[in-house]
Structure formats: C-alpha cells, structure tokens
Structure 1
Amino acid sequence: MGLKTKAQYVESLRDGRENFWNGERMDDITAHPRFRVPIEVASSDYDYDNPERRDIIAYKTEEGDLAHRVYQLPRSEEDLQKRMELLRNMSIVGGVTGVFMALLQVVDPLRKINPQYADNIERMYKYARKHDLRAAEVITDAKGDRSRKAHEQDDPDLYLRIVERNKDGIVVRGAKLHISAAALVHELVVMPTKAMNEDEKDYAVAFSIPTNAKGVKIINRSFAAPDLNEFDYPASSHHSMPEGFVVFDDVLVPWDRVFLAGEWQLSGAFAGSLGLWERTAGLVDAVESAATMVGLAQLVSEQQGKGKKPDAQNGVAELICYAEMLRMGLEHSVRNFEMTPSGMVHPNILAVNVAKYQYANNFHSMVKILHDLAGGLTLTMPEEGDLRSNEVGPYLRKYLHATKDTDIETRMRVYNLIRDISADSFGGWKQVVALQAGGGLPAQRVMMHRSYDMNAARAKALKLAGVKTA
C-alpha cells in the first residue's frame, strides 16, 4: 500500500465512525468546521513530498519499503536520536501512534505466556505500518470509586472489561477517557490502565480495533473554538486537537487482534511500557515549551525596558535552569538507553521519569514567573481588530509604546502567545496536561522507586557510616 497522501488520509476518515460533539452526531468529520484545524494538524504528518521533512518523517523498512518513521523500531542510540527529532516535527496524532513501540516492548515477556498474542502484536504493527495508519493510546478507564478495585465497583463496566469470550473473539464493554486524537486515527489500541490482580482478570485486556468498529462511539471535546485567528491565538489556531471519551458498547474484538485477555500478570507491563513512551514524547514537548517560555520571558522584559533589572534577570535565570534541566534529562535518557532481550532500544526509564517529574512538578511555578514578568497585559491586551481599526488603532500604537525599538504589533503578538499558552483555554489545557499526561506525579514516583538502584545506594550509605556488610 505504501505511504498515504494528505488527501488519502482525509478520505480514510470517511469510514462511518461514530463521533459526537456537544450532543451533535457527526457523520462526516472531514466536512465539519470543528475538525478543520485538527485535520490540518493531523494531515501534516503525511507531508512526504516536502523535501525538508521527508528524511525526518520517513524511513526504509527491513523489506526495503518506505514507511513513516514513527514505526521505526529503535536498535541504536542513533535510532533513538532520530525518534526525538521526529517527535519535534510531528503532530500529536503521529505522536500517539508511538503506542506500537509500547506494544513491541512487551512482546518478549508476552511470548513466554501466550505466543499467539505476541504474534498478533507483530502482525498488527506491520499491518499498520504497511497501510500508513495512525493509532491512539487508549488506556485510562473511568475508574469510578478510586478506593475500590475494578471488580468492586458499583457498576462493573467502570473499567473496560471482557463480557464474553466466543469462537470469534472477545466482547468488551466500558469507556476510556482523555484519549487524544481518538476521532482522527484509524486504530484504537487499548491497554489496561494499571496492574490488575487475579480477581480482576476480566479487566486485564489489550487489543487493537478499527475506529469505525461497531459499538465504538467517540464523544469529543477541545480547548479551542472552531475558528480562531492567528494573531490573537498564535498557538490555539494551529494546534487544537479533540480529546475523546471513547465508549465500547459490546464491541467484538477478533482473536487475531487480541493482545491480552485475562493474563493479569502482564497487565502492569502493558501500562508501564506505554507510560515510558508517552512520557518520552511529553518530555520532548516539554523541552521545546520550556525554551519558548525562556524566550517569551526575555522578550517581554526587554520590551518593557527591564531586561537588565535584577528581578527580571533572576526570573529568566530560573526559567533557563528549568529548561536546561529538562533538556539534559532528555539527552541523558537517550545516551544511557536500555535494551529489551530481543534488541529493541528504549530511553532510560529512570531518567525519563525523573525529568518528566521535574517538568510536571515545576511547570506551574515557571508559569508564575512568566506571568510575574509579563504583568496584567497578559489578560487585557486588546485584539487584532482593535489594532487594525482606523478609530482606535492609533490609540493602541500610542499607549502601548514602551522602548524606542519595540514594535507595537510585535509586542502584542508576544503577549498574545503568553496568554494563549499559559492563561487562556489552551493554557488551561496545558496546566492540566503538564501534570496528568503519561500519568500524574505518583506514577513517576512509583517508576523512580522501581528503576533506581536502591541496593547500591544503601551499600554506599552503610559504607560511609562505617558499617561492614557481607
């Protein structure tokens, strides 16, 4: 089949999938204004004809065919570096397709328990690669009462579960929340939300199903309105993407698409593997975002004539420290990569979780510094229509004057970007995503405990304390 064109990707979305938004059923999302920007964003990953991007987003497979690089199985540090560059040049729709890396990472332990499931993963991966498909990471359950386990809920469907096994496959029921780009992918790759125990074996389920499968319904929401102008919303106007509340209403999953069906011992491995790759992608974005915050803080300080004042320099220095710690953490995770028994290379687990924790734990404090430097105009800057107005535009050019070399339109654009990414709808989305994407802070703490060499740390402490050990 080979690589798709942008037009072929858009056409592939006209497949009868069931999408809803604010109660409205959308029979063709490609014709709906709410999806105009999201589809433009997703289509950019099919920009293979662009000579400046082709080598970044495409690679040659072991069979000699061209495929999107999101499907390249890392075998070396160089491969990981190329993946980091890809993540910096890819939409979130392409990014979540990295779920196949998470699947391939669990193939080795899965093969020991059920070779057929391992074969299903490898076959599904090659099928999606061959047809240039996109897939979503479908992991977070509704969860209900968090003090109870999956099988203890008032409603047994509050975690997605197997309700029937038959000769054709498994039938599943439940819902998955916060699924980025669910409406715009071809495959929904479902995994357990956490490690399950034996009593929860019907909830230990993983599979891939086409987005238009019977019984799948996607309820969408986005931080952005359908039509936003680029001047007032420099980020949101180009980057809006719906989050999906995905309902599985007795969906039949054929056996050849099943990756886990009751083998509860491996449920945690699936969840942990996805967390690693999702946090890696989030960390790449965090590095870029942090560098942008440094630039905005410096620009807004200079435009106000306080670029050399100690308080401004101190604030910018804090942001630089934050940005550089994230960058170094990401680089360390790649240079100190780890490898599965079958030779798949992945970022260092401890490094990714530490860096992602630093990003999430300090993000809001960094936004506070940016807001403190920028001031109230972050929220009250007039809009582009006012600037272009013959009646009030001259007032803006007069009263927004600051330093002699600060262009008024540039100043407005800088403030608009600060507001858009940190204090408007997109900013609110970022505030939550910084904490929750890839699992909240407790998830990173758990992984730090699991991956840190605690025995070596204990031994070092005892030695320095003068305690002799065997």
Structure 2
Amino acid sequence: MIRTGEEYRASIQDGREVYVNGERVKDVTSHPMFKPLVDIRARIYDMQHDEQTRHVMAYEEDGEWNAVANKLPLTQGDWWDKRRATDTVLEDIGGIVTRVGDETVGEMWSLFDGQDLLNEVDPQFSANIRTHIAKVLRADPFHVSANTDPKGDRSKPPQEQDPDMLLHVVKEVDAGIIVRGAKYETAAAYANQAFTKPTIANWGNAAYSDYAVGFICELGSPGLKYICRTGFAGRAPADDYPLSNKFDEVDTLVIFDDVLIPWENVLFYRHTKAAAFIRATLHRYSAFAFVQRNLKLADMMIGAALFNARQTGLDKQQAVQEKLSTLAVYREGINAHLTAAISLPERSPGGLMMPNQSLLYTGRVLACSQLHEMMHITRELCGGQICVTPDKASFDAPETAPWLNKFYSVNENWVADDRRRLLAFARDMLNSDYAGHRLTFQLFAQSPPFAHLAAVHRNFDWDGPLDFVRKAAGLSDRVLGKTDHASGDKAVSQWFSKDAAVRTAAE
C-alpha cells in the first residue's frame, strides 16, 4: 500500500554509512544537506493520502490504494494520469525535483519488456523482474537508478586496469552474488533501493562478462558506503537562493565494498546481450518524466522573464516580445512532443503501453539541446540586475533599507520586496552554482547528447520518407534493397492495428 511520509523517513534511518564534507552523517532525515529533499519526498508520499490530492496521486485496486507513479502503463490513460500526478507534485512544492522515483521506475519496465531475453539466460531472472515490479507497486519504495561508474581509463577495457573502476561480480555464493566497484547515484543516500546496471554498451565479441550484471540493490545493505558531493542547501540564505536551498538533489558516489546481492534481486548476470538490450531501451519510458521536467522549467523561465519585463513596461517592445515568443515556442515544442507521444502510443514487446518512441526521443533532443539557449534568453529578459542586486540582509538593515526600497520600488504593484524576491528567484534559476549544476546534470541524468540522437536514429520511421521519395521519383523497389519494403503508411497502419479500446480513447 502507499506509504506515509513518516514511514518513508523511518525506512532510511537504518544506520547507512553516509559521508558529506568529509564527515559521517548521523541521520540523513535531519542533516541540512539532505533534509530539504527528504521533506519533499515525504510530502509526495503524504500527497497520496491527502484528501485534496489523493485522487490524482493514487488509485484504488483490490481494496488498496497504490501510487500512480509506480503503476504499470497498460493504457493511454495511464500516461495522462502520470503526467497529471507529476504536474501536481511540482506545482505543490513550487519547483522541480527529478530523482523522486517516477522517472526511474520506468527503467524496470524496460526489463519487463525484455523477459524473453532474460529467459535465455535463466528463467529465474525473468521471474525476478516480475516479482520486483509487483513489490514496487505494493510496497511503494523510493526507487532510484544506478548507472554511471567512475570508468577510469576509457581507452582500455576494464580487465586491463583496476577492475573496480566498473562495478562487477567478484564471486558467487549460495545466497547470491558478491559485487565490488562504485556507481554514481543521485538521491541514493536517502532512497530505499536502486536498479543497478552497467554503463558500457560496447562489449566487443564477448558473450559473457562479470561486468554485465543488473540487480536491485537494497540501499541499507552492509558494505555500502555513500560519499556525497557537497550540497547547495545552507551555503547561502534561503531568501537569496530559494531554489538552491530547497531543490538540490544530492549526488552520491556509492561504494560497493563486497556487497551481497541475493539471487532474488539479480535481474541479469553474465549476459552481454541482456546488458546491451537494457542500454538501448533504458529510457523507453523514463524519458517522458525527464522531458516533463524540462517543460516545467520552461514555465519557470517564461514566468520569471515576463514578470521582469512587465514590471518596467518593457513587455510592450517588439524586441522583447520576440524573445518571449522564442521561449513560448520552446515551451510549446516540448508540450507538443509530450502530448503527441501519449496520443499516438505504441505497444511494447511486453504488452505495456509506451509513449510514441520517435516523438518522445525527438522531444527530448529539443528540450535538452536548446535549454542553454533558452536560459540565456531568459537572462537577457531579466536584465543585469539579477547579477548585481544586494542580498536580503541589505534590504532589512536600517542603514541601507531606505535606499534599496527607493531604488527597487517601481510602482504600487511592484514594491522593493517583491522585486527582490523575483530577482533572487531568477538569479538562482539561471546564474547560481545550483543553476550551473542543473544544466550540467542534463548530460548525466538523461544521458549525453550523442545517446539522445542515437535513440532518435533507432526509433524514427525511416521507411516512410524513403518510400514516399521512391514513389514520387518513380524509382524501382530495387533501390530499397528488398521488395517487401513497408509502405509509407507504416506508422499509420501500426497505430490503427492497436487495440480498439486504446484507439477509441485517443480519438
């Protein structure tokens, strides 16, 4: 059943070995670097019980309430529900959080689609993924993802350097496998479990490898050590950095010091084909949640830019309106891709309902590749005062407050305090250490740009344009290399072959 916020807090007070700033953390639920995100995750759990939000955040099945975020997507409607639930969370907390579970649980659904492949290795692995998906549905854990390794010298295979640079199996025992190495995991220090899988995709000709392992790691397991980067919370006053102090999701180097992974938690092992499959399909579902965050960030940038332009009357100028329109085009481009991805869904190999893969991945490229440009346009529209405005203490101090009230009050609608708050919000969103971190994080959380384009290449329907040109130019079937080539109506025919209930709902 769905958990409460207090149940979540209790679940991570398990004595785990967490370090930040060179010191061991006694309690991640109260430490100032972690508490803001722990509180937000607890709030999400409580929203599933709150009478005002439960109908959006949870659903009833067999007499029990379960989290919408964890629900297996079987229909188009499930994706509308997930989108609505995420929007409700982000609007309730007043900002953006990414690693809170709804984006990473989708990675397990990709393994659900690969059960035939897992059965080639061991039927038990296929059973394990079904068991763990059921566990997520019923137990409602805070589930994150472990992906990137330290890697070491990337010009060498792992066997030719320190083998621990990539997480690997060191031995098998009756109870399971023993793994050693390290992974970077955002939010791991205050989560319950992580889907842990390999980074590398180029296995060469190897059919088997100790590095080709994927499993569910219980984050309270013995042998785990969490070495966290310094957080942004508490570095500067919250009044001056409202986003840094509330929404920093702390990244962690998780050390696996001979950690036992029970057999029932092993999802694939010593099978490079399975590892390559999960690398290729990792974001089949989770990309939707990531791109939805970009949409909300676009809203934040538009709001900050428009408020700054309106307070001084600059929104009447054509040059300013053009820049605002550029932000709007970016925002609506993301919105259109998300909406179309749900409206034209696809059945997965495992029978789940996927967002349209080509539309989802091209939307991700749009959202990520233009983000830095949109941030700079927003900086322009906010003006130079976001980098020169004094802090709140100066607005409060008796000696300086009168002067700042004089020069920062525009009219009766925009007094100094509101203007300071807006400028602080914009500065933190665009110019702070936190802002730079979030921009860089796009290259980590959603994979690097070359992987984005590779996903587009794998999922775009190239047959349609080829066949259209073949017919328009009067070319023979020989140019396609085969005579039974799919027609240009491939995408449409695939859509109308979907089950009638989904089609009717979409229409």
TM-score (norm 2): 0.87
> 1: CA distance between counterparts of 2:82 and 2:233?
32
- Report what 1:441 is aligned to: 449
- Matched residue SS, 1:268: helix
Q: Which moved more, 1:85-94 or 1:18-27?
A: 85-94
- Matched residue SS, 1:171: strand
- Matched residue SS, 1:341: coil
Post-superposition CA distance 1:130-186 (Å, at most 9, x none): 32211111111222223334444x212211111112322111111112x11101111
- Report what 2:187 is aligned to: 181
- Report what 1:49 is aligned to: 49
User: Residues 202-217 of structure 1 correspond to what in structure 2 (within 5 A)?
Assistant: 202-217=210-225
- Report what 1:7 is aligned to: 6
- Report what 1:191 is aligned to: 197
- Report what 1:256 is aligned to: 264
> 2: CA distance between counterparts of 1:274 and 1:24?
35
> 2: CA distance between counterparts of 1:469 and 1:311?
51
- Report what 1:27 is aligned to: 26
> 2: CA distance between counterparts of 1:147 and 1:304?
55
Post-superposition CA distance 1:351-387 (Å, at most 9, x none): 1211111111111111111111222211121222222
Contact 2:101 2:144 in 1 (8 A): no
> 1: CA distance between counterparts of 2:281 and 2:56?
24
> 1: CA distance between counterparts of 2:256 and 2:357?
32
- Matched residue SS, 1:201: coil
- Report what 2:287 is aligned to: 279
User: Residues 422-441 of structure 1 correspond to what in structure 2 (within 5 A)?
Assistant: 422-441=430-449
Letter in 2 for 1:161: H
- Report what 2:101 is aligned to: 94
* Structure 2 residue 470 is matched with structure 1 residue 462: yes
- State the shift of 1:75 in Å: 0.9
> 1: CA distance between counterparts of 2:217 and 2:439?
31
- State the shift of 1:409 in Å: 1.8
Contact 1:37 1:239 in 2 (8 A): yes
- State the shift of 1:337 in Å: 1.4
- Report what 2:255 is aligned to: 247
User: Residues 294-313 of structure 1 correspond to what in structure 2 (within 5 A)?
Assistant: 294-313=302-321
Q: Which moved more, 1:245-254 or 1:90-99?
A: 90-99
> 1: CA distance between counterparts of 2:33 and 2:350?
44
Letter in 2 for 1:348: N
- State the shift of 1:417 in Å: 1.2
Contact 1:70 1:97 in 2 (8 A): no
> 1: CA distance between counterparts of 2:22 and 2:277?
37
Contact 2:113 2:351 in 1 (8 A): no
Contact 2:104 2:144 in 1 (8 A): yes
Post-superposition CA distance 1:231-272 (Å, at most 9, x none): 322322321221111111111111111001111111122223
- Report what 1:156 is aligned to: 163
Q: 1:196 to 1:59 in 2, by over 3 A?
A: farther
- State the shift of 1:109 in Å: 3.4
> 2: CA distance between counterparts of 1:220 and 1:278?
24
- State the shift of 1:468 in Å: 2.4
- State the shift of 1:407 in Å: 2.6
Q: What is the aligned counterpart of 1:420 among 425, 428, 438?
A: 428
Where structure 1 has 5 or more consecutive residues not aligned to the other structure, the ranges are none
Q: What is the aligned counterpart of 1:171 among 157, 170, 178?
A: 178
Post-superposition CA distance 1:412-445 (Å, at most 9, x none): 2221111111110221112112333210110111
> 1: CA distance between counterparts of 2:120 and 2:228?
39
Contact 2:409 2:419 in 1 (8 A): no
> 1: CA distance between counterparts of 2:475 and 2:192?
59
> 2: CA distance between counterparts of 1:345 and 1:51?
29
> 2: CA distance between counterparts of 1:313 and 1:102?
43
Contact 1:222 1:241 in 2 (8 A): no
Letter in 2 for 1:126: A
- Report what 1:390 is aligned to: 398
Letter in 1 for 2:298: A
> 2: CA distance between counterparts of 1:196 and 1:65?
44
- Matched residue SS, 2:284: helix
Q: 1:227 to 1:37 in 2, by over 3 A?
A: farther
Q: Which moved more, 1:280-289 or 1:43-52?
A: 43-52
> 2: CA distance between counterparts of 1:272 and 1:288?
27
Q: Which moved more, 1:102-111 or 1:163-172?
A: 102-111
Contact 1:77 1:334 in 2 (8 A): yes
- Report what 1:367 is aligned to: 375
Q: 1:173 to 1:214 in 2, by over 3 A?
A: same
- Matched residue SS, 1:259: strand
Contact 1:223 1:425 in 2 (8 A): no
- Report what 1:36 is aligned to: 35
User: Residues 337-356 of structure 1 correspond to what in structure 2 (within 5 A)?
Assistant: 337-356=345-364
Letter in 2 for 1:189: F
> 2: CA distance between counterparts of 1:222 and 1:290?
27
- Report what 1:76 is aligned to: 75
- State the shift of 1:87 in Å: 2.4
> 1: CA distance between counterparts of 2:69 and 2:401?
47
TM-score (norm 1): 0.93
> 1: CA distance between counterparts of 2:428 and 2:30?
27
Letter in 2 for 1:182: A
Contact 1:305 1:403 in 2 (8 A): no
- Matched residue SS, 2:232: coil
* Structure 2 residue 131 is matched with structure 1 residue 123: yes
> 1: CA distance between counterparts of 2:49 and 2:391?
37
- Report what 2:409 is aligned to: 401
Q: How many residues align?
A: 466
